[in-house]
Structure 1
Amino acid sequence: MPRDGSARAGVAQLRASEAGALGTGPPSSAPEAAASARVLTFAGAALAAVYVPGGGPGTETLRLVEAAGCATPEHGLPERLVLTGDSPAAHAFRTGRPLWLKPAALASFSEGGPASPSAGVSLGALPLAAAGTRLGCLVVTGTAADGFDAEQQRFLARYADAVAGLLQAGDPGPAPPRLLGPALRSLGVGSFVLMPESGLIEADETLLQLVGILPHTFDGKAATLLAHALPEDMPGLMTVLEPSTEASGVRELEFRVRCPGGEMRWLSLRYRALGSTGDRPDRVLGVVTATSVLPRSSDDVSRIQWLTAALDDATTVADVSRVVVTALREPLGADRIALAELQDERLTVTVLDPPDPAAWPEAWRADWRSDWPDPAVAALPTLQAALRDGHVGLWPAGTALEPGLAGVGPGGLAVLPLPAKGRAVGVCLIGWNQPHAFAPDERTLLTATAALVGQAVKRAHAHDAEQELATMLQRSLLPRRLPELSGGTAVARYLPARRGLQVGGDWYDVIALSDDRVALVIGDVQGHSAGAATIMGQMRTAVRAYAVEGHPPDVVVSHANRLLVGMETDLFATCCYAELDMEEGNVLFVRAGHLSPLMRHPDGSAEEVRVEGALPLGVSADAEFPMTSVALAPGTLLALVTDGLVEAADLPLDNGMQRTRTALAAADPSDPGRVADELLGDAGRREDDVALLLLRYDGMKTRPIRAGWAVWRLPDAVMHARRFTARTLRRWNVEEVADAVLLVVSELVTNALVHTQGPVHVDLVLRGDRVRVSVNDSSPRAPAKPVIVDWESTGGRGLMLVEALSESFGSVPVASGKQVWSEIVVPHREPSGTDPGLPADRGGPP
């Protein structure tokens, strides 16, 4: 019969599943009927039944459409009930109010109870309604003589709401959809049967989802479930795995699991031991529910434990604020929660719940900033007094408060100063709209909560300040902007690690050595800490200095290596250095323990450039760093990366390089910035910091024309240099600037011959509308202009003339000494048919 057939089926399936768990193979996931029976058992119900209206006019009845549980025959219920009859279900349906009947009260109803009632059977009848429509009635029978306790009643009320929702969405016709099992699943209640002797466990799909295990991957072992729990919660869970026969009745505990996405979830476990053989129970029956917040019925110790653990995972002030709202608003039934830090006698609000300005006092809106208000403490005397005294203030409904607080809690207001290290670091406001009766022990609970939150705010504020400092440090050590290049475009990206101090040892740099030469460098100092960042800054500065001096790539890297060895640090660094001739498209690579560069060719193919490697920097002062030459075609993309982009705990290096190479080949090179973003992909949880440097080589649109002259130290050396310059300017058809250029050459060559020893060399370059004159000598000392100029002084006047005639003028150190240069603008002229690109003079006397 329907009144007990489903229940007996549930018993059979439950026993069959338990028998399967006793076998040698891993149990399968629990059947729905068995899982429902286990959950209902912990709700104090032996049977749950759904009645819906049926029958024609004048014969309205409630008919039984579904039952679930593990009821014995004495708990069976009638198949039909008359709506106007004297049954608990009909009474609950007509009145719309639930009935909770103990055995004595149940006996007063003439119908609608169990077919064979016993002295220990109780009953609950809960009306099913949705959107004002009566849909039926949920009837549950229990075995406890004292009926259903308050916690069980609350759960069964939620169960009835879930059944009503499904009933409204479905069609309660002759074959209505299943309700009881899906309703339990929607409540997020999982169940299990554990066999302590074998360690095998039968868990339903809901429990596996709560723990974060895919049902088809579960092997049926309790240890697999326990592996997802936090280590500090293991001692409590071991009492479930190894129960004692002396432990009787239902036992409860709460524990945490780490979900696959990394977030933490709180779970509540209720279990009891069944049967015994020797000193160990035969099996353990239990249910598990998710507890994002502890129910109000939980004891204060459990609530404080939950808050302590949740705040321990909160690293920022924003995280602390979210935890406070979760921990206080729902359990206390509050309508408003505000949390603010105290900074310079002003309250910096970190969270308002709800965030709508209309929900807060008018006085707050005047101080509303971009996100939250920023009121002064002096404008709120109640808060000022609470912060001064450091005591929790509870203000019942009707208390006269200043306008700034009157609208926060018209039904009651709690003011919680947040103490930390002897002073208040902030305040938390909790407000109710309806009159709130403060319980005698509520002040104690709120005081303990305030102390925990205050310490968390202090710790989170220090963390935020530390991260801000780390960000500023990292930004100060990396280039603010990359130079504009003639013949190419360079872009870079840097992402800090998302664990620990967000500052690391990855660095990059783009160094414009001249108009047609550029150096690219990327490196990684071991670790991501302040020490690694410091070494990184020193190495970047050293590499830049050596490069600007004009050293070839192998010498630059060798000098940087010797510098790091001399620092006597335990850290080492890897580096990839590339010097690119923008005019010819040739690259010289040096790789010191770093990843090989990647290259995307104009045809869309990508490859890993085979660059001969060497030891990382800082390992050996005598290490050699060979150079590898590679030719680039216009349209080539060159990518230098650090290992944080291509390697992780779940991503082998080879796979990461292959993935990045594939992404580089598929990218559109017309926008290097977008290419860089695509290579980074979804950053997610990064284990290491990431640096990425991209260069698109386009080739120089205007190729420079060059000529050079080696100055011999003869009495008429300056005359020969002037003749060489004049011939060159005539050949280039830029004689209109001859006077200025010849004067610059005369002064710079004279200074070099008079004030230095060794070779002197003159270089002339015509690029577009500019003539560049460069004079190299062997002295590292920069030329000095006179500090005081009067009619008697003679020294230094030449440099002042050069500076006056030049569009730009300067001096840079080079490997063999220094280079003094001047640029002179050529006036606009009509294009000439002559070809100035004739072979350049090689120097020497004519």
Structure 2
Amino acid sequence: AGAGGAGPGSPAASALEDLRVGSFTLELSTGRIDADPCALELVDLVPEEFDERMETLLAHTVPDDLPALMTVVKPDPTSYGRGQELEFRVRRPSGALRWLRLRARVLPGEESAGGGPGAGYEQLLGVVADASYLRPGGDDVSRVQQLSASLATAMTVRDVGREVVHALREPLGAARVALAELAGDRLALVGLDPVEPEGWPVDWRSEWSTGWPDAPAQVLPTLEAALREGRASLWPPGSVREPTLAAVGPGGLAVLPLPAEGQVVGACFIGWDAPHEFGAEERSLLTATAGLVGQALKRAHALDAEHELATMLQRSLLPRRLPELPGGVAVARYLPAMMGLEVGGDWYDVIPLPQGRVALIIGDVQGHSAAAATLMGQMRTAIRAYAAEGHPADVVVSHTNRLLVSMETDLFATCTYVELDMEEGNAWAVRAGHIPPVLRHPDGGTEEAPVEGGPPLGIVLEAEYPMTSIDLAPGTVLALLTDGLVESKRLELADGMHRVRDLLAGAEPANAEQMADVLVGGATRREDDAALLLMRFDGMTHRPIRAGWSVWRLPDAVLHARRFTARTLRSWGLEEEADVALLVVSELVTNALLHTQGAARLDLMLSGDRLRIATTDSSPRAPAKPVIVDWEATGGRGILLVEAVSVAWGSLPVSGGKQVWAEILVPPREAGAGDDTTGQR
């Protein structure tokens, strides 16, 4: 009963039905609507059940769109005779949304008795069509939003690749999806699904380890043209000329250049095995996806470079290698944070000290920034300097604290400092706001070392840092660690410490490297960087033997020092090395007497295949090796002679003075030989 030849059964209605366009007429006076089956199908109504009421149709409209729709179905009389157009949404039984486009016009009927606007207009004729192809569907919008949210948390290029292939393959019903980064004229694979080589064409499998594809883009003209144009290319079956490229999607292939900042940074390949038709909605989805992925790939590439630089900076501030220790093994691990790319402030160090002692340090500077890393380097250098001066553990930490306070920085630091006598197994530990060390005893039992604590470094100028004595039996493992290994948003500190103790108890102490890997192996996605310093104390198989002589300032002081050295070497069975040793003693003692004031001391130590000769005096000035010596000069060659006959020599500060030492090689002694032969004068 439509007007204008558009009613059911009319030629116009048949044509509209073929185009999937519905038509209707609305009686303005009664609100009765006569709609054809196609119009009813667009709003998911069964024609036999439709009650011809306008309210029934309006009930399917999204509430936000009702006001605009009402201006069309209940028009202002002043708009009669003019066509109106509107796009609105209806809610389908599945909950999804469908966009519809409505075109309507009020048609004149019989003239009414009254004049005025609207007189003689009784019917609204309208046509309605599916407009979803012009707008993304609800599922497409949701899919793009989910991909956008996933890419927002992707920190690396590999993360982007994993998220993209996961978000596209299954929803699109594709056989394979690959994401590649454009590097020069080559494409480097960063993500693919399926991951098995068998899921891809044979031509690609040989290049799996080096990239995808390994050949330059110019080898594939179709691909090169798509990347040059920078627009999504959708090829139906049989339209790709190169067999190598066509094999990726024999039923249909989509190549999406990934734009970012005005250039193409990569490409996404989506292939179907079964024949696939590309609709307008899918084209819109793929275009939107390409823009998101391109920006994410560009950002992730920059973050990868930044993270690599930050990690390089962090590692450059840490020891390249740990020294070999007599009577023990030390290993370390550093794990950068995986959430966030700022460089951290965790550090560790192992410092060999005189007399068979070693200092073990671990610390953490507040924050994650270049400032924290810089301060970490300064703290490590300061502690090394104070330890080398021969200060006890509490003084080293106190001096470091005062230095940090004087720097007037807003950052503070925590650390644990342990000085260990490798001969006796006696240790003194100081803790400055840091978590306590963990001990694994030879019987497998573990405990947190009861080390007294002081405040963090850089807080209180006159803070006190008490020392705690720890006795280590051979076979004991000492673990120093930072909070990134035992604490996170999901892990309480107490639970993390229990976890470390359990891992230590179950690990095999014979392999310190493997034990360290076990302790850090359980950490997954870390919110903070973490450091671990592990030392297994074995005890010395051959303990060093020592002898000392107080040098009096007498005319024949050098003679007495040489006689003392000769007697000691005979008792140690080193008569054959006496000539070299006596030459070194003569030069070092002479320098101490000529160039310093106050007391001087000569110390001899035999450890393994090294004889160490050292003189200690009260002058802090280090000996200078002359650059040029006049051949007629009677002096000035002492240090040159010492350097020539020894395997190593040096000077280190000791209690306001210095110690000058030299080492010469000797035959290694047998176990127990001379262990009780010590002398002090």
CA contact (8 A) 1:346 1:375 kept: yes
Name the counterpart of 2:95: 252
Name the counterpart of 1:382: 222
Name the counterpart of 2:534: 694
Structure 2: 5+ residue stretches without partners: 1-43, 50-89, 98-135
Q: Specify which of 354, 358, 361 is matched with residue 514 of structure 1.
A: 354
Report the CA distance between 1:455 and its aligned residue: 0.7
Name the counterpart of 1:562: 402
CA contact (8 A) 1:593 1:613 kept: yes
In structure 1, distance between residues paired with 2:319 and 2:514:
20
Name the counterpart of 1:840: 679
- Give the direction of change, closer, same or farther, for the CA distance of 1:445–1:733 in structure 2 (3 Å limit): closer
CA contact (8 A) 1:812 1:819 kept: yes
Deviations 1:540-597 (A, max 9, x none): 2221222123222122111211221122221211111111111122111111122222
- Give the direction of change, closer, same or farther, for the CA distance of 1:707–1:426 in structure 2 (3 Å limit): same
Report the CA distance between 1:317 and its aligned residue: 1.9
In structure 1, distance between residues paired with 2:148 and 2:499:
42
In structure 1, distance between residues paired with 2:357 and 2:151:
54
Aligned partner of residue 610 in structure 1, secondary structure: coil
Deviations 1:772-827 (A, max 9, x none): 10122334443333334564455543222222221322333434233222112224
Name the counterpart of 1:611: 451
In structure 2, distance between residues paired with 1:607 and 1:448:
57
Aligned partner of residue 715 in structure 1, secondary structure: coil
Matched, 1:455 2:295: yes
Report the CA distance between 1:646 and its aligned residue: 3.5
- Give the direction of change, closer, same or farther, for the CA distance of 1:359–1:581 in structure 2 (3 Å limit): closer
- Give the direction of change, closer, same or farther, for the CA distance of 1:688–1:789 in structure 2 (3 Å limit): same
Alignment of structure 1 residues 287-306 onto 2, 5 Å: 300-306=140-146
Q: Partner letter of residue 417 of structure 2?
A: Y
In structure 2, distance between residues paired with 1:644 and 1:383:
47
In structure 2, distance between residues paired with 1:460 and 1:753:
66
In structure 1, distance between residues paired with 2:196 and 2:503:
44
Name the counterpart of 1:504: 344
In structure 1, distance between residues paired with 2:529 and 2:164:
32
Name the counterpart of 1:727: 567
Matched, 1:581 2:581: no
Matched, 1:641 2:481: yes
CA contact (8 A) 2:186 2:213 kept: no
CA contact (8 A) 1:577 1:591 kept: yes
- Give the direction of change, closer, same or farther, for the CA distance of 1:837–1:358 in structure 2 (3 Å limit): closer
Name the counterpart of 1:817: 657
Select the structure with the greater relative contact order (CA < 8 A; seq sep ≥ 6): 2
Matched, 1:412 2:252: yes
Alignment of structure 1 residues 147-296 onto 2, 5 Å: 250=93, 252=95
Aligned partner of residue 429 in structure 1, secondary structure: strand
Q: Partner letter of residue 688 of structure 1?
A: D
Alignment of structure 1 residues 584-603 onto 2, 5 Å: 584-603=424-443
Q: Which stretch shows the higher mean deviation, 718-727 or 673-682?
A: 673-682
- Give the direction of change, closer, same or farther, for the CA distance of 1:345–1:808 in structure 2 (3 Å limit): same
- How high is the TM-score relative to the length of structure 2? 0.74
Q: Partner letter of residue 359 of structure 2?
A: A
- Give the direction of change, closer, same or farther, for the CA distance of 1:658–1:418 in structure 2 (3 Å limit): closer
Q: Specify which of 645, 662, 671 is matched with residue 511 of structure 2.
A: 671
In structure 1, distance between residues paired with 2:147 and 2:506:
49
Q: Partner letter of residue 570 of structure 1?
A: D
Matched, 1:471 2:314: no
Q: Specify which of 211, 225, 238 is matched with residue 398 of structure 1.
A: 238
In structure 1, distance between residues paired with 2:143 and 2:667:
82
In structure 1, distance between residues paired with 2:238 and 2:518:
60
CA contact (8 A) 1:777 1:816 kept: no
- Alpha carbon RMSD of aligned pairs, Å? 3.2
Aligned partner of residue 450 in structure 1, secondary structure: helix
Q: Partner letter of residue 392 of structure 1?
A: A
Matched, 1:343 2:175: no
In structure 1, distance between residues paired with 2:493 and 2:188:
46
Q: Partner letter of residue 523 of structure 1?
A: G
Deviations 1:817-840 (A, max 9, x none): 33222112224689998x573451
In structure 2, distance between residues paired with 1:433 and 1:702:
73
In structure 2, distance between residues paired with 1:649 and 1:352:
32
Q: Partner letter of residue 335 of structure 2?
A: L
Q: Partner letter of residue 191 of structure 2?
A: V
Name the counterpart of 1:234: none
- Give the direction of change, closer, same or farther, for the CA distance of 1:354–1:659 in structure 2 (3 Å limit): closer
Aligned partner of residue 547 in structure 2, secondary structure: strand
Q: Specify which of 801, 806, 809 is matched with residue 646 of structure 2.
A: 806
Report the CA distance between 1:483 and its aligned residue: 1.7
Deviations 1:99-120 (A, max 9, x none): xxxxxxxxxxxxxxxxxxxxxx
In structure 1, distance between residues paired with 2:397 and 2:278:
72
Aligned partner of residue 680 in structure 2, secondary structure: coil
Q: Specify which of 461, 464, 471 is matched with residue 621 of structure 1.
A: 461
Q: Which stretch shows the higher mean deviation, 640-649 or 713-722?
A: 640-649
In structure 2, distance between residues paired with 1:815 and 1:513:
14
Name the counterpart of 2:123: none
Deviations 1:661-690 (A, max 9, x none): 455445443333344344446224444333
Name the counterpart of 1:75: none
Q: Partner letter of residue 95 of structure 2?
A: E
Q: Specify which of 322, 325, 334 is matched with residue 482 of structure 1.
A: 322
- Give the direction of change, closer, same or farther, for the CA distance of 1:565–1:147 in structure 2 (3 Å limit): farther
In structure 2, distance between residues paired with 1:346 and 1:543:
50
Report the CA distance between 1:517 and its aligned residue: 0.7
Name the counterpart of 1:741: 581
In structure 1, distance between residues paired with 2:598 and 2:676:
30
Matched, 1:769 2:609: yes
CA contact (8 A) 1:731 1:836 kept: no
Report the CA distance between 1:616 and its aligned residue: 1.1
CA contact (8 A) 1:598 1:640 kept: yes
- Give the direction of change, closer, same or farther, for the CA distance of 1:546–1:332 in structure 2 (3 Å limit): same
CA contact (8 A) 2:544 2:608 kept: yes
Structure 1: 5+ residue stretches without partners: 1-142, 149-246, 255-295
In structure 2, distance between residues paired with 1:828 and 1:727:
19
In structure 2, distance between residues paired with 1:829 and 1:468:
49
Q: Partner letter of residue 169 of structure 2?
A: R
Report the CA distance between 1:522 and its aligned residue: 1.4
- Give the direction of change, closer, same or farther, for the CA distance of 1:699–1:807 in structure 2 (3 Å limit): same
Alignment of structure 1 residues 32-111 onto 2, 5 Å: none
CA contact (8 A) 1:496 1:502 kept: no
- How high is the TM-score relative to the length of structure 1? 0.61
- Give the direction of change, closer, same or farther, for the CA distance of 1:497–1:369 in structure 2 (3 Å limit): closer
In structure 2, distance between residues paired with 1:396 and 1:535:
60
Deviations 1:93-150 (A, max 9, x none): xxxxxxxxxxxxxxxxxxxxxxxxxxxxxxxxxxxxxxxxxxxxxxxxxx984699xx
